[in-house]
Amino acid sequence: MNIVQYSRAMTTDRTLITGASSGIGEAFARVLAARGDDLVLVARSAGKLEALAAELTARHNVRVDVVPADLSLPDATDGIVAELTARGIAIGTLVNNAGFGNGEFATLDAARQRDEVFVNVVAPVVLTRALLPSMIERGRGAIVNVGSTASFQPVPYMATYGATKAFVLSFSEALAEEVRAHGVRVVALCPGQTETAFFTGMDEARSPGRARTSEQVVATALRALERGRVVAIDGFANYVLANASRFSPRWLVARIAARMFRPTPSR
């Protein structure tokens, strides 16, 4: 696809949110619609997206397009960009929120881990690459990449997940510097334990800190965008823990994390 043709065909800026059918992605959609932003919602569940779009349109009088997509598929991002082009939609803000992960590396299905890398790493990179040039051309734009407090440390028993989130942090920090002079802002949003389906079934006794709400996480991201911050760690306790890991030996951080996340033997 010719990027120049894509950007010039667009007429209005919207916010595109991946993983918008639940959790932090849904919270982004609700908060941004309430302030009057027009949206494009992306997730696998077309039914949930359509219901959310109808609700937000009726309640806030905003335009909401739905683009169902499974980001674990290699050509998913191409399909999203093709839909945006066909509908004449420009993206002014991109929220790369979709992600998942859990499980011990040696026992977790290999295909599942491949999908995890596609959703957490490949999809954000390819989607950002597709949409960023038009932001640069217009001299404005914002990208929020949802990382994790896991971005700052190795996470035994969630090894692939932790590695993908470390990538998100490094990618975001580097990209933010590349595009700073072009009027495009980049934020790596790093939540800890949050009240979403991601943590369903996780032993709270082994999860540090108190769970934050999705709305609190979104507020942290929006403050960071307004203040020009690149890394946004949600919650004071998470901020302390994430920074403490930087000043500790990596082997010790991994050992402590292993004790926290080691699966409890079934009785």
Please state, for a pLDDT cut of 90, what percent of the chain lies above it. Answer: 72
pTM: 0.86
Q: How many CB atoms lie within 10 A of CB 125?
A: 16
pLDDT digits over 178-234, tens only?
Answer: 999 999 999 999 999 888 665 444 443 344 557 899 999 999 999 999 999 999 999
* Mean pLDDT of the region 5-32: 81
Residues 6 or more apart in contact with residue 56 via CB below 8 angstroms: 29, 30, 33, 39, 62, 64
For 37-55, write each residue's pLDDT tens digit: 999 999 999 999 999 999 9
Topology of 3-261 in CATH?
Answer: Rossmann fold (3.40.50)
Q: Nearest to residue 2, comparing CAs of 197, 134, 138?
A: 134
Backbone angles phi, psi at 17, to 5 degrees: -125, 120
Q: What is the pLDDT of residues 118-161, one digit of tens each?
A: 999 999 999 999 999 999 999 999 999 999 999 998 889 889 99
Instruction: Say how far apart CA 170 and CA 166 lie, in whole Å.
Output: 6
| CB neighbours of residue 36 within 10 Å | 9
Residue numbers annotated as active site: 161
Helix (H, G, I), strand (E, B) or coil at 36: coil
Beta strands in 49-173 (DSSP E): 64-68, 90-96, 141-146
Residues 6+ apart with CB under 8 A from 9: 85, 88
What is the domain partition of the chain in residue ranges? 3-261
Mean pLDDT of the chain: 88
Whether 64 and 39 have beta carbons less than 8 Å apart is answered as yes
Measured from the Cβ of residue 221, the count of other Cβ atoms closer than 10 Å reads: 27
